[in-house]
Amino acid sequence: MSEKEKKDLSQECEELKEKYRELEEYAKRLKAEYENYREEVAREKRELIKNANEYLISRLIPILDDFERALNQKDHEESFYEGVKLIYKKLLNTLEKEGLSKIQVGETFDPFEYEAVERVETDDVEEYTVLEVLESGYKFHGKVLKPAKVKVAVRPRKKDEESPDKKE
């Protein structure tokens, strides 16, 4: 190999080393920028959640004040009951304005909206009919937050099905 070729290779090697250092620095900057971006997004998310909570809480404070007034009343039980009923309506109305809705009770059990907590054997209605709502369920902008707890009708078991472990 001639001196010129060695010199050219050496120069090319130095150029490649310099290019490598530049790319390495560029990658380090990109990584740092990405980490800063992630931290900024996380901070913005925390701030957004804080602001949303602050907004909702500020809407609930007047209802809290109403509860205090109702609890401080010294008069009859009926007026207390009426006051609490009005506060309940006000709270429900406030939450509905924010996107909360009660799950409407249909006739047929839907496992996506209801939680069957009790089964009632009966032939009086169609199987899987919701007989009673034990606890209301709620959706937030269409997403189920809490399923309604219900009693559901099921067909009565036949005598020979009643207790499978009683077989002799």
pLDDT of residue 36: 97
Q: Is residue 130 a part of any domain in this protein? A: yes
**Are residue 87 and residue 111 in the same domain, yes or no?**
no
Burial zone of 72 (CB within 10 Å; 0-12 exposed, 13-18 middle, 19+ buried) = exposed
- Integer Cα distance of 51 and 29 in angstroms: 32
pLDDT of residue 165: 55
Q: Is residue 164 a part of any domain in this protein? A: no
**Are residue 23 and residue 78 in the same domain, yes or no?**
yes
**Are residue 84 and residue 122 in the same domain, yes or no?**
no
Residue range of the domain that includes 55? 1-98
Per-residue pLDDT of the chain (168 residues; tens, 9 = 90+): 888 888 989 999 999 999 999 999 999 999 999 999 999 999 999 999 999 989 988 888 888 888 888 877 777 777 788 888 889 999 999 999 989 998 887 779 999 999 999 999 998 888 999 998 899 999 999 999 999 999 999 999 887 655 555 554
**Are residue 17 and residue 93 in the same domain, yes or no?**
yes
The rounded Cα 136 to chain-centroid distance in angstroms is: 17
- Integer Cα distance of 139 and 102 in angstroms: 6
Q: Is residue 154 a part of any domain in this protein? A: yes
**Are residue 93 and residue 127 in the same domain, yes or no?**
no
* Domain final position from 56, 74, 98: 98
**Are residue 112 and residue 131 in the same domain, yes or no?**
yes
Q: Is residue 167 a part of any domain in this protein? A: no
Provide the residue type at 119 as one letter: R
The total of structural domains in the chain comes to 2
pLDDT of residue 138: 92
Q: Is residue 71 a part of any domain in this protein? A: yes
Q: Say which CATH number the domain at 121 has.
A: 2.30.22.10
Q: Say which CATH number the domain at 91 has.
A: 3.90.20
- Integer Cα distance of 39 and 21 in angstroms: 27
**Are residue 88 and residue 106 in the same domain, yes or no?**
no
**Are residue 26 and residue 70 in the same domain, yes or no?**
yes
pLDDT of residue 163: 55
Q: Is residue 166 a part of any domain in this protein? A: no
